[in-house]
Amino acid sequence: MIKKYDFLLPGTSRIGVLLIHGLTGTPAEMRGVARELNQAGHTVYAVQLAGHCGSVDDLIATRWQDWYQSVINGAQKLRQQVDHLVVGGLSMGAVLALKYASDFPVDSVLVYSATFRYDGWSIPPLSRFAAPWLLPLAGCFHLGRHRLFNEKEPYGIRNESLRRRIAKSMQEGDSGVAGLPGNPWPSLSQMMALSRNVRRALPQVTAPCLVLHAENDDIAHRRNALLVRDNVSGEVALTLLKNSYHMITIDNDRTELIALTLGFIQQQSEAKNNREPAALRLHTTLSTPA
């Protein structure tokens, strides 16, 4: 069942791409990338994570396992329509994509602005260093249930006109368009638990990974990208983008991101075809409708 803000774009190739948004985010942050991938022939499904695109209460009623189950359900839906699956995500969505790739076979992984820790330059030093022990403690004792770490300038966006539009949408309260205006403490605690789980699982990721990260990410320092590069078992193509902040799927470098993504998917598809036995490739070609 497609949720209100999910969207599925059927393609003509047998490659499917599952796109996953970030914490307090929305599938809309993946729409531009999804359209370009779809125009290249791929079937694209942008999933709405459990508890998202609603109220703060909706979000804090869910745990990271619920968010991950949304990814599993989305992948199952997409696998019914394609032969090859690519999983990708932005921010926490990238962490969820890596989690899925550590548990299930995938063709490749798109890792955009991976966020294991909120340690970018816009995060106050006190929050940066206190959060790792304060939030789990608050979660254990159910403290600060309705407290938020509010979003502040520059909202992960370097493009000033786009930043103004996103800020306006957040202030108007449409979480399905721009996400929530802040991160609830309980949800951040869940995000940290997810991060710990996936960090341990990174060596189990054997699929090739495209890792894209802003060089001057305001939310998650580029060391988050290096963590992926240095710990997954699959091949890694890493690029640091020069003219964006955290939201690289919609910011100034989105054209470069899309070009790198399309090239990576094509390269991995060609490499996979070259590794297949010739008889299997012939059978696949003959059995595919024109």
Per-residue pLDDT, 136 = 61
List, in order, residues 6 or more apart from 158 with CB less than 8 Å away.
Answer: 243, 244, 245, 251, 252
Per-residue pLDDT, 118 = 92
pTM, 2 dp = 0.88
User: For strand 43-47 and strand 7-9, is the pairing parallel, antiparallel, or unpaired?
Assistant: antiparallel
When pLDDT is cut at 50, 70 and 90, the band that residue 279 belongs to is very low
When pLDDT is cut at 50, 70 and 90, the band that residue 285 belongs to is very low
Per-residue pLDDT, 185 = 80
Integer Cα distance of 289 and 110 in angstroms: 29
Question: Is residue 279 within 8 Å of 285, Cβ to Cβ?
Answer: no
Integer Cα distance of 68 and 77 in angstroms: 14
Q: What number of helices (H) and strands (E) belong to the chain?
A: 11, 9
Mean pLDDT of 20-32: 95
CATH numbers and ranges of domains, the chain? 7-287 (3.40.50.1820)
Integer Cα distance of 221 and 219 in angstroms: 7
Distances (CA, A) of 243 to 90, 92, 251: 17, 21, 8
* DSSP 8-state assignment for residue 12: S
Q: Taking the CA of residue 53 as centre, how many other CA atoms within 13 Å lie in the half-sphere pointing to its CB? A: 16
Mean pLDDT of 106-133: 82
pLDDT in tens, 76-85: 999 999 999 9
pLDDT in tens, 216-249: 999 999 999 999 999 999 999 999 999 999 999 9
Per-residue pLDDT, 107 = 97
Nearest to 203 by CA among 245, 174, 237, 231: 231
